[in-house]
Amino acid sequence: MRPVRIGTRGSALALWQAEHVRDWLARASGAAAEIVKIRTAGDQFQQGSVAAIGSKGVFIKEIEDALLAGAVDLAVHSLKDVPTEIPAGLALVAIPQRDDPRDCLVSRTGAGLAALAQGARVGTSSLRRQAQLRRARPDLDVRELRGNVDTRLRRVEEGTLDATVLAYAGLRRLKLEGRASEVLSQRVMLPAVGQGALAVEAREEDRATRERLAAFEHRDTRIAVTAERAVLATLEGGCQVPLGAWGRIEGGRLVLDACVCAADGSEVVRDRAEGSPEQPETLGRALGEKLLAAGADRLLRMAGR
Protein backbone atom coordinates (compact mmCIF):
# COMPACT_ATOMS: atom_id res chain seq x y z
CA MET A 1 0.00 0.00 0.00
CA ARG A 2 1.43 3.37 -0.99
CA PRO A 3 1.96 6.05 1.69
CA VAL A 4 -0.65 8.72 2.30
CA ARG A 5 0.49 11.86 0.47
CA ILE A 6 0.20 15.06 2.55
CA GLY A 7 0.24 18.35 0.65
CA THR A 8 1.67 21.40 2.38
CA ARG A 9 3.55 24.63 1.90
CA GLY A 10 7.30 24.45 2.41
CA SER A 11 7.82 26.90 5.28
CA ALA A 12 9.20 25.63 8.57
CA LEU A 13 5.85 26.17 10.28
CA ALA A 14 3.83 24.51 7.50
CA LEU A 15 6.18 21.53 7.55
CA TRP A 16 5.80 21.21 11.32
CA GLN A 17 2.04 21.12 10.87
CA ALA A 18 2.23 18.47 8.15
CA GLU A 19 4.68 16.40 10.19
CA HIS A 20 2.34 16.64 13.18
CA VAL A 21 -0.46 15.09 11.14
CA ARG A 22 1.89 12.49 9.61
CA ASP A 23 3.10 11.43 13.07
CA TRP A 24 -0.46 11.27 14.39
CA LEU A 25 -1.49 9.04 11.49
CA ALA A 26 1.41 6.70 12.22
CA ARG A 27 0.50 6.45 15.91
CA ALA A 28 -3.25 6.16 15.42
CA SER A 29 -3.46 3.78 12.49
CA GLY A 30 0.05 2.71 11.54
CA ALA A 31 -0.40 4.45 8.19
CA ALA A 32 2.78 5.58 6.47
CA ALA A 33 2.71 9.07 5.00
CA GLU A 34 4.95 11.25 2.89
CA ILE A 35 5.01 15.03 2.69
CA VAL A 36 4.64 16.76 -0.66
CA LYS A 37 5.74 20.42 -0.68
CA ILE A 38 3.71 22.71 -2.93
CA ARG A 39 4.52 26.34 -3.73
CA THR A 40 1.51 28.66 -3.52
CA ALA A 41 0.79 32.13 -4.91
CA GLY A 42 1.36 33.58 -1.46
CA ASP A 43 4.85 32.03 -1.45
CA GLN A 44 5.70 33.19 -4.97
CA PHE A 45 4.76 36.86 -4.52
CA GLN A 46 6.67 38.07 -1.49
CA GLN A 47 6.55 41.79 -2.25
CA GLY A 48 3.63 43.95 -1.16
CA SER A 49 0.60 43.04 0.90
CA VAL A 50 -1.26 39.75 0.74
CA ALA A 51 -4.42 41.69 -0.08
CA ALA A 52 -2.73 43.13 -3.18
CA ILE A 53 -2.39 39.63 -4.69
CA GLY A 54 -6.12 39.91 -5.21
CA SER A 55 -7.53 36.48 -4.44
CA LYS A 56 -8.81 34.50 -1.50
CA GLY A 57 -6.92 31.44 -0.40
CA VAL A 58 -3.57 32.70 -1.69
CA PHE A 59 -1.72 30.30 0.62
CA ILE A 60 -3.73 27.19 -0.20
CA LYS A 61 -5.22 27.30 -3.74
CA GLU A 62 -2.43 25.35 -5.42
CA ILE A 63 -2.55 22.74 -2.66
CA GLU A 64 -6.30 22.35 -3.13
CA ASP A 65 -5.76 22.02 -6.89
CA ALA A 66 -3.31 19.17 -6.23
CA LEU A 67 -5.85 17.55 -3.91
CA LEU A 68 -8.62 17.74 -6.51
CA ALA A 69 -6.27 16.35 -9.15
CA GLY A 70 -5.38 13.37 -6.97
CA ALA A 71 -1.71 14.36 -6.67
CA VAL A 72 -2.03 14.36 -2.86
CA ASP A 73 -4.47 12.59 -0.53
CA LEU A 74 -4.90 15.25 2.10
CA ALA A 75 -3.75 18.78 2.83
CA VAL A 76 -2.78 20.44 6.09
CA HIS A 77 -3.44 24.18 6.47
CA SER A 78 -3.41 26.85 9.11
CA LEU A 79 -7.17 27.30 9.41
CA LYS A 80 -6.83 31.09 9.37
CA ASP A 81 -5.61 30.78 5.75
CA VAL A 82 -8.69 28.82 4.63
CA PRO A 83 -11.53 30.84 3.02
CA THR A 84 -15.06 30.20 4.23
CA GLU A 85 -16.00 28.74 0.83
CA ILE A 86 -14.44 25.33 0.23
CA PRO A 87 -14.13 24.11 -3.40
CA ALA A 88 -16.74 21.58 -4.49
CA GLY A 89 -15.50 18.04 -3.89
CA LEU A 90 -13.35 18.96 -0.89
CA ALA A 91 -14.10 19.06 2.85
CA LEU A 92 -12.39 19.99 6.09
CA VAL A 93 -12.41 16.45 7.42
CA ALA A 94 -10.61 17.09 10.71
CA ILE A 95 -9.92 20.10 12.90
CA PRO A 96 -7.69 18.98 15.78
CA GLN A 97 -7.52 20.64 19.18
CA ARG A 98 -6.61 24.29 18.92
CA ASP A 99 -3.39 25.75 20.25
CA ASP A 100 -3.26 29.18 21.93
CA PRO A 101 -5.14 31.54 19.56
CA ARG A 102 -3.54 34.78 20.78
CA ASP A 103 -1.09 37.08 19.01
CA CYS A 104 2.25 37.97 20.52
CA LEU A 105 4.70 40.82 20.22
CA VAL A 106 8.39 40.13 19.60
CA SER A 107 10.52 43.22 20.20
CA ARG A 108 14.24 43.79 19.83
CA THR A 109 14.59 45.04 23.41
CA GLY A 110 12.10 42.68 25.03
CA ALA A 111 9.65 45.52 25.69
CA GLY A 112 5.93 44.82 25.66
CA LEU A 113 3.42 46.79 23.62
CA ALA A 114 2.86 49.54 26.19
CA ALA A 115 6.59 49.96 26.76
CA LEU A 116 7.64 50.31 23.10
CA ALA A 117 9.27 53.66 22.39
CA GLN A 118 7.15 56.34 20.75
CA GLY A 119 7.30 55.87 16.97
CA ALA A 120 8.67 52.35 17.24
CA ARG A 121 8.65 50.49 13.91
CA VAL A 122 6.39 47.43 14.09
CA GLY A 123 6.04 45.10 11.11
CA THR A 124 3.08 42.96 10.11
CA SER A 125 1.28 42.18 6.84
CA SER A 126 -2.07 41.57 8.56
CA LEU A 127 -4.64 44.34 8.17
CA ARG A 128 -6.27 43.06 11.37
CA ARG A 129 -3.07 43.38 13.37
CA GLN A 130 -2.18 46.73 11.81
CA ALA A 131 -5.57 48.19 12.71
CA GLN A 132 -5.57 46.92 16.29
CA LEU A 133 -1.97 48.03 16.83
CA ARG A 134 -2.84 51.52 15.66
CA ARG A 135 -5.85 51.57 17.93
CA ALA A 136 -3.81 50.54 20.97
CA ARG A 137 -0.79 52.72 20.11
CA PRO A 138 -1.58 55.42 17.50
CA ASP A 139 2.00 56.69 17.73
CA LEU A 140 3.58 53.50 16.37
CA ASP A 141 5.10 53.35 12.89
CA VAL A 142 3.29 50.25 11.61
CA ARG A 143 4.92 48.85 8.48
CA GLU A 144 4.17 46.13 5.94
CA LEU A 145 6.12 42.94 6.61
CA ARG A 146 5.78 39.69 4.66
CA GLY A 147 7.67 36.44 5.02
CA ASN A 148 7.84 33.35 7.18
CA VAL A 149 8.48 33.36 10.92
CA ASP A 150 12.28 33.25 10.54
CA THR A 151 12.25 36.20 8.14
CA ARG A 152 10.13 38.33 10.45
CA LEU A 153 12.24 37.54 13.49
CA ARG A 154 15.41 38.29 11.55
CA ARG A 155 14.12 41.74 10.53
CA VAL A 156 13.72 42.56 14.21
CA GLU A 157 17.11 41.11 15.17
CA GLU A 158 18.85 43.12 12.43
CA GLY A 159 17.26 46.34 13.64
CA THR A 160 15.26 47.03 10.49
CA LEU A 161 12.20 46.88 12.75
CA ASP A 162 11.77 47.39 16.46
CA ALA A 163 9.10 44.71 16.78
CA THR A 164 6.76 42.39 14.96
CA VAL A 165 3.48 40.64 15.79
CA LEU A 166 3.07 36.90 15.22
CA ALA A 167 0.65 34.13 16.09
CA TYR A 168 1.77 32.76 19.44
CA ALA A 169 0.80 29.24 18.36
CA GLY A 170 3.34 29.41 15.53
CA LEU A 171 6.16 30.28 17.89
CA ARG A 172 5.08 27.51 20.26
CA ARG A 173 5.09 24.94 17.46
CA LEU A 174 8.59 25.97 16.42
CA LYS A 175 9.72 25.99 20.08
CA LEU A 176 10.40 29.73 19.85
CA GLU A 177 7.85 30.88 22.42
CA GLY A 178 10.70 32.28 24.51
CA ARG A 179 11.13 34.97 21.87
CA ALA A 180 7.75 36.51 22.70
CA SER A 181 8.10 39.79 24.58
CA GLU A 182 4.37 39.83 25.35
CA VAL A 183 1.43 37.57 24.62
CA LEU A 184 -1.30 40.05 23.75
CA SER A 185 -4.59 39.89 25.59
CA GLN A 186 -7.71 39.43 23.50
CA ARG A 187 -8.88 42.71 25.05
CA VAL A 188 -6.09 44.42 23.10
CA MET A 189 -6.01 42.28 19.97
CA LEU A 190 -8.65 39.77 18.92
CA PRO A 191 -7.07 36.97 16.87
CA ALA A 192 -7.76 36.05 13.27
CA VAL A 193 -10.62 33.71 12.50
CA GLY A 194 -9.32 30.19 13.12
CA GLN A 195 -5.96 31.32 14.48
CA GLY A 196 -4.14 28.59 16.39
CA ALA A 197 -6.16 25.82 14.72
CA LEU A 198 -5.16 23.40 11.97
CA ALA A 199 -7.42 22.18 9.18
CA VAL A 200 -7.01 18.83 7.45
CA GLU A 201 -8.65 18.85 4.04
CA ALA A 202 -9.45 15.85 1.85
CA ARG A 203 -11.67 14.84 -1.05
CA GLU A 204 -15.27 14.27 0.00
CA GLU A 205 -15.36 10.96 -1.87
CA ASP A 206 -12.24 9.60 -0.13
CA ARG A 207 -13.94 7.62 2.62
CA ALA A 208 -10.77 5.81 3.71
CA THR A 209 -8.89 9.04 4.42
CA ARG A 210 -11.89 10.56 6.16
CA GLU A 211 -12.21 7.52 8.43
CA ARG A 212 -8.50 7.57 9.25
CA LEU A 213 -8.75 11.18 10.39
CA ALA A 214 -12.05 10.99 12.29
CA ALA A 215 -10.37 10.54 15.68
CA PHE A 216 -8.20 13.62 15.07
CA GLU A 217 -11.29 15.82 15.28
CA HIS A 218 -11.77 18.02 18.38
CA ARG A 219 -15.42 18.89 18.95
CA ASP A 220 -15.03 22.12 20.94
CA THR A 221 -12.49 23.50 18.49
CA ARG A 222 -14.76 22.73 15.54
CA ILE A 223 -17.64 24.51 17.27
CA ALA A 224 -15.57 27.58 18.13
CA VAL A 225 -14.02 28.05 14.69
CA THR A 226 -17.32 27.33 12.92
CA ALA A 227 -18.82 30.29 14.79
CA GLU A 228 -15.84 32.49 13.93
CA ARG A 229 -15.98 31.52 10.26
CA ALA A 230 -19.71 32.29 10.18
CA VAL A 231 -18.94 35.86 11.28
CA LEU A 232 -16.39 36.13 8.48
CA ALA A 233 -18.78 34.71 5.90
CA THR A 234 -21.53 37.12 6.98
CA LEU A 235 -19.17 40.05 6.50
CA GLU A 236 -18.24 38.61 3.08
CA GLY A 237 -14.60 38.98 3.90
CA GLY A 238 -11.56 37.06 2.80
CA CYS A 239 -8.68 36.19 5.09
CA GLN A 240 -7.30 39.73 4.76
CA VAL A 241 -9.83 42.00 6.43
CA PRO A 242 -9.46 43.97 9.71
CA LEU A 243 -11.68 41.46 11.52
CA GLY A 244 -10.85 39.70 14.76
CA ALA A 245 -12.89 36.88 16.27
CA TRP A 246 -12.53 34.55 19.22
CA GLY A 247 -14.90 31.71 19.99
CA ARG A 248 -14.66 29.30 22.94
CA ILE A 249 -16.74 27.08 25.18
CA GLU A 250 -17.22 28.50 28.69
CA GLY A 251 -19.45 26.77 31.22
CA GLY A 252 -21.08 24.72 28.50
CA ARG A 253 -21.98 27.84 26.49
CA LEU A 254 -20.47 29.06 23.23
CA VAL A 255 -19.03 32.55 23.73
CA LEU A 256 -17.99 34.60 20.70
CA ASP A 257 -16.26 37.97 20.53
CA ALA A 258 -15.68 39.78 17.24
CA CYS A 259 -14.55 43.19 16.07
CA VAL A 260 -14.02 45.14 12.87
CA CYS A 261 -11.55 48.04 12.94
CA ALA A 262 -10.89 51.01 10.73
CA ALA A 263 -7.54 50.48 9.02
CA ASP A 264 -6.05 53.46 10.87
CA GLY A 265 -7.37 52.22 14.23
CA SER A 266 -9.54 55.29 14.72
CA GLU A 267 -12.80 53.33 15.00
CA VAL A 268 -13.85 49.87 16.08
CA VAL A 269 -17.12 47.96 16.13
CA ARG A 270 -16.94 45.19 18.69
CA ASP A 271 -19.54 42.94 20.30
CA ARG A 272 -20.09 39.58 21.99
CA ALA A 273 -22.67 36.84 21.59
CA GLU A 274 -23.43 33.74 23.66
CA GLY A 275 -25.53 30.72 22.79
CA SER A 276 -25.82 26.98 22.40
CA PRO A 277 -22.76 25.08 21.16
CA GLU A 278 -25.19 23.13 18.98
CA GLN A 279 -25.77 26.12 16.68
CA PRO A 280 -22.40 27.81 16.08
CA GLU A 281 -23.20 28.99 12.56
CA THR A 282 -26.43 30.64 13.71
CA LEU A 283 -24.60 32.45 16.52
CA GLY A 284 -21.80 33.56 14.21
CA ARG A 285 -24.16 34.86 11.55
CA ALA A 286 -26.21 36.75 14.14
CA LEU A 287 -23.10 38.42 15.55
CA GLY A 288 -21.93 39.28 12.05
CA GLU A 289 -25.27 40.91 11.27
CA LYS A 290 -25.08 42.83 14.53
CA LEU A 291 -21.63 44.16 13.62
CA LEU A 292 -22.87 45.20 10.18
CA ALA A 293 -25.83 47.04 11.71
CA ALA A 294 -23.41 48.88 14.02
CA GLY A 295 -21.29 50.16 11.10
CA ALA A 296 -18.82 47.37 10.33
CA ASP A 297 -19.70 47.44 6.62
CA ARG A 298 -18.56 51.05 6.37
CA LEU A 299 -15.25 50.24 8.05
CA LEU A 300 -14.70 47.29 5.71
CA ARG A 301 -15.37 49.47 2.65
CA MET A 302 -12.85 51.98 3.98
CA ALA A 303 -10.32 49.17 4.33
CA GLY A 304 -10.90 48.20 0.68
CA ARG A 305 -12.75 44.91 1.22
Active centre residues (catalytic): 81
Beta-bridge partner residues of 248: 255
Would you tell me how many other CB atoms lie within 10 Å of the CB of residue 226? 20
In degrees, rounded to 5, the angle at the alpha carbon of residue 48 between the alpha carbons of residues 16 and 172 is 25
Largest pairwise CA distance in the chain: 60
Sign of the Cα torsion 300, 60, 123, 51 reads negative
The answer to whether the CB of 239 falls within 8 A of the CB of 49 is no
- What are the strands, taking DSSP E only, across the chain? 4-8, 33-37, 74-78, 90-94, 103-107, 121-123, 141-143, 163-167, 182-183, 198-203, 243-250, 253-261, 268-275
* 3-class secondary structure, 76: strand
Position 149, amino acid: V
Alpha-carbon gap, residue 169 to 130, rounded angstroms: 19
Q: Give which of 177, 165, 195, 189 is closest to 99, Cα–Cα.
A: 195
